[in-house]
Structure 1
Amino acid sequence: MPGKVGPADLLEHVFGRTGAADETVLQGPADGEDAAAVDWPGGTLVVSSDPISLAASQVGTLGVHVACNDVAASGADPRWLTAVVMLPEGADIEPISRDLDAAAREIGASIVGGHSEYVDALERPLVSLTAMGATESFVPTGGANPGDAVILTGSAGLEGTAILAADFGDDLDVDPTICERAETFLEEISVVPAARLVREHATAMHDPTEGGVAAGLLEIARASDCRLEIDRNAVPVREETVALCEAAGVDPLRIFGSGALLATIPEDSLESALESLAANGIEAAAIGTVREAATESGLELGDETITDPIEDDLYPLWSAVDAAE
């Protein structure tokens, strides 16, 4: 089954194999952390890399936003990008490069390098972006404290909803107008504006990607060694997401979640943070509370207790398509 390498394998085979020791590295590879932080003369350099390999639509747009979201969720403004574009033989690079350029311009980031080539073994394009930015105050995934409130900006499953509409919409029993509206959700994938407003209040920030909001919450809990109590009914989910997820038989909180931002905020700053977001036209909701971990870190999502890594519900759908072909 495709998906991220699990935390146990990363701990055993990856996190301890990071090359030469360097005292300027403030945050290196760790469970739940999507970005690195390096001390440099301009403050702290934040770096994050992410691939897009399965979505069939607008991979360039998704690639830019997913990588830049990780940098923004660490308290920095994305400024520089490198792009690696791997293409099936005969594929057209023009729409990908066009989307990369447009998305980078929207965020205000410069594409400064990369690599592109054709690969016989590929069936769809694979795009991997590295984003970099600077900050004076790095915000980790693992900074949540007991008593903090948990907020979500945007809605759950925006990226996954757009993927469902674009890649599977013709085969789902939904009104075509729902798919049309859902595909526009890719225009809302960036969390850079929300992160700029939240970062002054946040103890931790994280943008949910693979595995959706549920996986993002669990990653905060694991990285912070705490327990997150979440009211599932408080998590915003759009009607298009509900309709497409019901038709596909997937959970809106367990599909790709780019377009939302999770943050933990001290209770005395919660009202100020929510007011700031509302004043700038960004939807947000308080969805739960950070608690101490009684035995092990984890997520309490309604009446469900989750401690094991969460697999994205879209992967079996892609696997079924590949099997049918």
Structure 2
Amino acid sequence: MKTGKVPENVLKRSVLRQIKTKRREVLCGAGIGVDCATFSFPGEGEIVSCVQEAALVPAGMPGCAGGFPGTFMTMAALIQKCVNNLAAGGGRTAAVLISLMMPESSEESELRMLMAEAEEKCRELSLQIAGGQTRIAEAVSLPVATVTGIGRKWEVSAVPGDARPGQDIVISKWVGLEGTAYLAGRHREKLLRRYPAWFVEEAEHFGRYLSIVTEAQVAVKQGATLMHDASEGGIFGALWELAERAGVGLTVDMRGLPLRQETVEVCECCGANPYELLSGGCLIMISSDGPGLTAALEMAGVPAVTVGKITDSNDRILLNGEEIRYLDRPKSDSMLPLFRQDTEL
């Protein structure tokens, strides 16, 4: 199999169909587009948990403010992704468990730096590192981390996890932020030959937008029924996963998908598709009152737009003026070939 996410048909056939044992405490478990689990214990409310893993790259690597295509991330980006997934599930993260597998060539100083990076990110997010494991293993050539986030729902059953025909599709901030930051950092000199320095630097610093916690909190208060954070596979992949999870169709106006001009220019220069670009920092929200939700998000300082509707068919339609096209199953992130080229340089 190829590097990256396991294809959806393989995931259904060889992973999800093998999970058969159920418990009543598990309100929401493994599924397509489901990034965190929800548990209910009598008198304890609803607890949420999420697991994310990645091979780690140095925090000082150009373009590393966010993540990388496939399985490579910084420790800070991995923790942020875990927190984002829990927020999209309607939960506030309280603590993380971190398991590290280090190659035999590792020095103690590398381990110390990774944990210092983790602690700094957790301090920023007001999280506690509650435990984990650390091992040295000859089977790995790069440090590999697994981060498990644990928290509680902001409100019990605040996000029921469904979408109904006629509801609005709202998107926060902009598409492709995470990928733009990566490409701008890794291809800085190439971009500077075409664009002014301030323009490239702005694109490089898109990592500051990657948290979706604020918009998730607002969406919960405004009665959003389903949320999904865009990441690998871009906005197209995220829309497909959301529709697949809810078992609905959708219609989206491509001209309404919010793009920063920096993303447009960087993608054109680097040969990437902005709609299939790493899109951490962008949250998809389903609401019965799209205008009300976007207004509340704007009041909270989060740009947001309504881009389409949930439909009662299985069709996932993209409108571009008079042109009609159908959304395909998620592909590999359009950055993956570029990332491979970078790592081979």
Shared fold (TM-score, shorter chain, > 0.5) = yes
Alignment of 1:6-45 (within 5 A): 6-18=7-19, 20-40=21-41, 41-45=43-47
Which of 70, 77, 84 does residue 92 from structure 2 map onto? 77
Q: Which moved more, 1:150-159 or 1:18-27?
A: 18-27
Q: Gaps spanning 5+ residues in structure 2: where?
A: 66-73
Distance 2:233 2:36 in 1: 18
Q: Percent identity?
A: 27
2:230–2:284 CA contact under 8 A, matched in 1: yes
Name the CA shift for 1:174/1:304 in 2 (closer, same or farther; >3 Å). Answer: farther
Number of residue pairs the alignment of both structures matches: 319
Instruction: Confirm or deny that 1:280 pairs with 2:280.
Output: no
CA drift at 1:181: 2.0
Task: Give the residue type in structure 2 aligned to 1:146.
Answer: P
Instruction: Confirm or deny that 1:217 pairs with 2:239.
Output: yes
1:212–1:312 CA contact under 8 A, matched in 2: yes
CA drift at 1:16: 2.7
Task: Give the residue type in structure 2 aligned to 1:29.
Answer: A
Distance 2:182 2:56 in 1: 10
Distance 1:203 1:178 in 2: 37
Q: Secondary structure at the match of 2:30?
A: coil
Task: Give the residue type in structure 2 aligned to 1:28.
Answer: G
CA drift at 1:118: 4.4
Q: Which moved more, 1:42-51 or 1:66-75?
A: 42-51
- 1:44-95: CA deviations, max 9, x gaps? 1111112233765351221111001110001111111112234453362344
CA drift at 1:216: 0.7
Instruction: Confirm or deny that 1:192 pairs with 2:194.
Output: no
CA drift at 1:263: 0.4
CA drift at 1:102: 2.3
Which of 147, 151, 172 does residue 133 from structure 1 map onto? 151
* Residue of structure 2 in register with 1:153 after alignment: 172
* Residue of structure 1 in register with 2:69 after alignment: none
Alignment of 1:220-299 (within 5 A): 220-266=242-288, 269-293=289-313, 296-299=314-317
CA drift at 1:226: 1.4
Name the CA shift for 1:237/1:122 in 2 (closer, same or farther; >3 Å). Answer: farther
Instruction: Confirm or deny that 1:68 pairs with 2:83.
Output: yes
Task: Give the residue type in structure 2 aligned to 1:193.
Answer: T
Task: Give the residue type in structure 1 aligned to 2:328.
Answer: T
2:237–2:329 CA contact under 8 A, matched in 1: no
Distance 1:84 1:70 in 2: 18
Name the CA shift for 1:310/1:54 in 2 (closer, same or farther; >3 Å). Answer: farther
Q: Secondary structure at the match of 1:93?
A: helix
Instruction: Confirm or deny that 1:108 pairs with 2:126.
Output: yes
Name the CA shift for 1:54/1:318 in 2 (closer, same or farther; >3 Å). Answer: farther
* Residue of structure 1 in register with 2:318 after alignment: 300
1:79–1:110 CA contact under 8 A, matched in 2: yes
Distance 1:249 1:123 in 2: 30
Q: Cα RMSD over matched residues?
A: 2.3
1:52–1:62 CA contact under 8 A, matched in 2: no
Task: Give the residue type in structure 1 aligned to 2:229.
Answer: D
2:56–2:75 CA contact under 8 A, matched in 1: no
1:51–1:126 CA contact under 8 A, matched in 2: yes
Distance 2:111 2:188 in 1: 25
Name the CA shift for 1:53/1:245 in 2 (closer, same or farther; >3 Å). Answer: farther
Instruction: Confirm or deny that 1:93 pairs with 2:115.
Output: no
Q: Secondary structure at the match of 2:18?
A: coil
Task: Give the residue type in structure 2 aligned to 1:196.
Answer: Q
Q: Gaps spanning 5+ residues in structure 1: where?
A: none
- 1:248-295: CA deviations, max 9, x gaps? 1111121111111100100xx2232122111111111111111111xx
Name the CA shift for 1:161/1:26 in 2 (closer, same or farther; >3 Å). Answer: same
1:297–1:307 CA contact under 8 A, matched in 2: no
Task: Give the residue type in structure 2 aligned to 1:244.
Answer: V
Name the CA shift for 1:26/1:129 in 2 (closer, same or farther; >3 Å). Answer: same
